[in-house]
Amino acid sequence: MTTDTGAEIARDGIDLAALRARLADAPDADRLRPIGIERVVAGRDALSALPAILAELLGENEGPVALLVDATPMLRSGANLKATVQALLESERRVRPVRAGPPDGRAHADEETLAAVRAAAEGASAIVTVGSGTVADIGKAVARDLGGLPHVVVQTAASVNGFADDQSVLLRNGVKRTVASRWPDVLLLDGATLLDAPPAMNLAGLGDLVSMFTAAPDWYLAKAVGMDDSYSPTAVALGRDHGEELLELAPALAHRDAAAAVRLAEILAVSGISMGIAGRTAPSSGMEHTVSHLLEMVAERRRVETALHGAKVGVTTIVAALAWRRLRRRVAAQGLKPLFPDAGEMEERVRAAFDPLDRSGLMGEECWSDYGAKLARWHERREAVEAFAAAWDRHDAALGALLVDPARIVEAMKAAGAPVRFSELDPAVDAATARWAVANCHLMRDRFTVADLACFAGCWEEQDVDAVLAEAAGLGAGL
């Protein structure tokens, strides 16, 4: 639907019919999941389409709509965004306000918050979520728990790619875990709302998207060594098709260009859809995300604020890109001789990394549960691993096609005004914590990344981590 084609007040931001046709014809179509989102509506005044969207979704169902928000103040054209949305909804429907999280606005997607939102939304005809990626994750999980409740997400910033998929990042025993939730039925990208978001949030969206340049190689790697057979070239291409456009879009974001903000949100939505059809976050989540998750876990334990997720991902993508470069150079010079450490040795290493952060041992136990499964699979797939090492040149060429020069990532991030150092994050991450997260990122979950291969190649020791961070400093990034 295009409400005003000339001014682009509200239009379909993504041609989902064409995208579905492309996926149906893809060589790996059999491993792709259907696109569950029905519409992505975008434009400078897309919010005005919300009543019509709900009418289309709900038909004759006149039940109340649960308006899910957190307590964070948000503006749209200088007015209270959440009050504007509530008034817009109340013009045609009964509205049940539901707040996620405490009065200070620091909503966390933990078990307690999900239970409270689930109880408050029980019996509603639909959920309209207005808020951050965390609030959207809560909305998607609750919509699933309530039997597939119709769900419209009003994206409040071009900050992350997780608005458009069917997965949520939730807290379990203090550890970030990605779990299946539910696609939103409609994602609404309102230009006036995106432009009034704090500039740092839209820059965080750029940071979240550059992860495609390291996550996709990680996913290819996991497939190549026999650790994850889910790799989909089509899902990867969905996001990577926009890689060059993304890097070229960066300078316009520095000038708070409205069209650039909407376009960034559309690319984020495509990236989210790529994760949805893959059935996992792997197209855009690799080593860089594990580092970011560890920083968030530290902040949770210390009960302090943490920088925006995408901002951290942007900084950590640079580190991951350099880890890839260092590993490839090392293997080119010395070859690849995979190591197969025993479980006792690695369990000790996992617990040494996480027990100081959580003296109860629950965090270490949660991380070892995932890492132990990954280590066992590494041993089981030894034949595939050794075949990968023997065919390194072929795989290295494929990896090179997915990777980009780390300097290009740094250049784009700087052109947009986005942080490229841990010390530039807001709030800043101290050097010791950043280094800890980089060094131990592979120990926190069952996902195989470049840090795992470096570890099993004997080149992710203290001196290797320091060398990668030194290379980052040489590009004006890193600590």
pLDDT in tens, 202-238: 999 999 999 999 999 999 999 999 999 999 999 999 9
pLDDT in tens, 262-295: 999 999 999 999 999 999 999 999 999 999 999 9
- CA–CA separation, 328 and 330 (whole Å): 5
Q: What are phi and psi of 273, to 5 degrees?
A: -65, -35
Domains and CATH numbers, the chain: 11-197 (3.40.50.1970), 281-474 (1.20.1090)
Q: What percent of the chain has pLDDT over 90?
A: 90
pLDDT band, residue 3 (cuts 50/70/90): very low
pLDDT above 90 (res 169): no
pLDDT in tens, 92-118: 999 999 999 888 878 888 889 999 999
Overall average pLDDT of the 2-31 stretch: 79
69: nearest Cα among 129, 117, 122: 129
Q: What are phi and psi of 182, to 5 degrees?
A: -155, 140
> Model's pTM, two decimal places?
0.89
* Predicted local distance difference test score (pLDDT) of residue 6: 31
Per-residue DSSP letter, 387? H
Strand 186-190 to strand 175-180: parallel, antiparallel, or no bridges (unpaired)? unpaired
211: nearest Cα among 370, 403, 397, 401: 403
pLDDT in tens, 442-478: 999 999 999 999 999 999 999 999 999 999 999 999 9
216: nearest Cα among 183, 243, 240, 199: 240
What residue type is 72 in one-letter code?
T
- CA–CA separation, 453 and 389 (whole Å): 11
For 128-188, give the DSSP string: EEEE-HHHHHHHHHHHHHTTS--EEEEE-SS--SGGGSSEEEEEETTEEEEEE----SEEE
Q: What is the largest CA-CA distance in the chain?
A: 69
Q: How many CB atoms lie under 10 A from the CB of residue 470?
A: 12
pLDDT in tens, 365-391: 999 999 999 999 999 999 999 999 999
Six token digits for residue 14: 């993504």
* Predicted local distance difference test score (pLDDT) of residue 359: 92
What residue type is 397 in one-letter code?
A
Average pLDDT of the chain, as a whole number: 94
Six token digits for residue 347: 């369990």
The residue to which tokens 């950590």 are assigned: 316
pLDDT above 90 (res 164): yes
- CA–CA separation, 420 and 109 (whole Å): 27
- CA–CA separation, 181 and 140 (whole Å): 6
Overall average pLDDT of the 79-99 stretch: 96
- CA–CA separation, 62 and 89 (whole Å): 12
Question: Residue 433: CA atoms inside 13 Å, Cβ hemisphere, count?
Answer: 21
- CA–CA separation, 194 and 345 (whole Å): 49
- How many Å from the N-terminal Cα to the C-terminal Cα in the chain? 47
pLDDT band, residue 8 (cuts 50/70/90): low
* Predicted local distance difference test score (pLDDT) of residue 5: 34
The residue to which tokens 């901002």 are assigned: 311
Overall average pLDDT of the 19-41 stretch: 96
Overall average pLDDT of the 19-46 stretch: 95
pLDDT above 70 (res 332): yes
pLDDT in tens, 58-68: 999 999 999 99
pLDDT above 70 (res 2): no
80: CB partners within 8 A, 6+ apart: 73, 74
pLDDT band, residue 1 (cuts 50/70/90): very low
Strand-pairing partners, residue 130, are 154
Higher pLDDT, residue 290 or 1: 290
